[in-house]
């Protein structure tokens, strides 16, 4: 895998070929990448709704702004990236129990220290619900970046979508009742031949402008 080439070739798909479908095997690979994504103090403050566009697009289309409809209807899958409304004591205990079960710690006191540190950093970002949700969203965008790069690495195109009505999405999927909030959406598939974005050269500011070495 040449990560430089992948970074040069990856782009945001604007048009998809609905006749070319992402296989379930490749979808599973990308979901594994999402599961393995990094988060601050391993908080994992997320949940992902996986929509099979061929069968379930109607459940989310009313929340997608019209100019983005084709990026759902013509692609294979859509992922709704959600944060948790709260990070409860029960949830934090569940994370710790899972870490212990997975053999993450060699001694009980290390597990206790990790739990204390995690609660401390979450507490720093929980003065208000808005602050907590902003902090959680930062973790979610780490997962989105990993997801898009992983998709490009196996030849799958993706489109990150913020052009949607989040409260409407939450209503359509009953997310509030599940303790979730939708933050961003991403569709995956294979670009159509008339996707002009596939033909445009990548444009980025020169490295001299964006890197400072000290």
Do both 118 and 133 map to the same domain? no
- The answer to whether residues 66 and 133 belong to one domain is yes
**Domain identity same for 111 and 178:** no
Domain count, the chain: 2
- Report the candidate in 70, 49, 47 with the shortest Cα–Cα distance to residue 59: 49
Are 69 and 8 part of one and the same domain?
yes
For tokens 């999927």, the residue is 173
* Domain range enclosing 182: 3-87+128-210
pLDDT of residue 162: 98
Give the CATH number of the domain where residue 34 resides.
3.40.109.10
Same domain, yes or no: 37 and 135: yes
Kindly report, residue by residue over 32-69, the tens digit of the pLDDT.
Answer: 999 999 999 999 999 999 999 999 999 999 999 999 99
Q: Are 67 and 120 within one domain?
A: no
Q: How confident is the model at residue 214 (pLDDT cuts 50, 70, 90)?
A: very high
Helix (H) or strand (E) holding 93: helix 89-101
The yes-or-no verdict on residue 188 having pLDDT over 80 is: yes
Q: Which stretch of DSSP H or E encloses residue 46?
A: strand 46-52
- Clarify whether residues 107 and 7 are in a common domain: no
DSSP state of 62: G
Within this chain, do residues 161 and 118 fall inside the same structural domain, yes or no? no
Mean pLDDT across the stretch 3-20? 96
In this structure, are 95 and 28 located in the same domain? Answer: no
In tens, the pLDDT along 146-182 reads 999 999 999 999 999 999 999 999 999 999 999 999 9
Q: How far apart are CA 183 and CA 126, in angstroms?
A: 18
- Please state, in angstroms and as integers, the Cα–Cα distance from residue 129 to each residue in 34, 80, 125, 136, 170, following that order: 24, 21, 9, 10, 17
C-alpha distances out from residue 130 to 58, 152, 174, Å: 30, 33, 20
Q: Report d(CA 94, CA 115) in Å as an integer.
A: 11
Claim to verify: residue 9 and residue 98 sit in the same structural domain: no
Q: Nearest-5° angle of CA 47, CA 87, CA 145?
A: 40
**Residue 1: pLDDT above 90?**
no
Q: Which residues pair with 125 in a beta bridge?
A: none
Taking only the tens place, the pLDDT of each residue in 93-134 is 999 999 999 999 999 999 999 999 999 999 999 999 999 999
Based on the domain organization, do 48 and 148 belong to the same domain?
yes
**pLDDT for residue 197 is more than 80:** yes
The first and second tokens of residue 4, run together, are 């430089």
């Amino acid at each position: 895998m040449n990560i430089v080439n992948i970074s040069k070739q990856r782009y945001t798909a604007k048009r998809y070929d609905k006749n070319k479908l992402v296989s379930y095997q490749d979808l599973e690979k990308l979901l594994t990448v999402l599961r393995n994504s990094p988060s601050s103090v391993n908080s994992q403050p997320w949940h992902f709704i996986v929509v099979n566009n061929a069968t379930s697009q109607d459940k989310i289309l009313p929340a997608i702004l019209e100019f983005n409809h084709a990026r759902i209807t013509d692609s294979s899958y859509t992922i709704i990236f959600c944060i948790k409304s709260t990070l409860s004591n029960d949830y934090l205990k569940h994370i710790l129990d899972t870490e212990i079960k997975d053999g993450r710690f060699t001694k009980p006191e290390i597990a206790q220290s990790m739990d204390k540190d995690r609660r401390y950093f979450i507490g720093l970002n929980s003065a208000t619900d808005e602050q907590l949700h902003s902090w959680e969203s930062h973790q979610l965008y780490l997962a989105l970046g990993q997801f898009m790069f992983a998709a490009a690495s196996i030849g799958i195109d993706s489109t990150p979508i913020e052009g949607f009505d989040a409260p409407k999405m939450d209503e359509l999927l009953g997310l509030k009742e599940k303790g979730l909030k939708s933050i961003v959406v991403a569709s995956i598939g294979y670009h159509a031949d008339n996707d002009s974005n596939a033909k445009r050269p990548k444009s980025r500011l020169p490295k001299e402008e964006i890197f400072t070495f000290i």
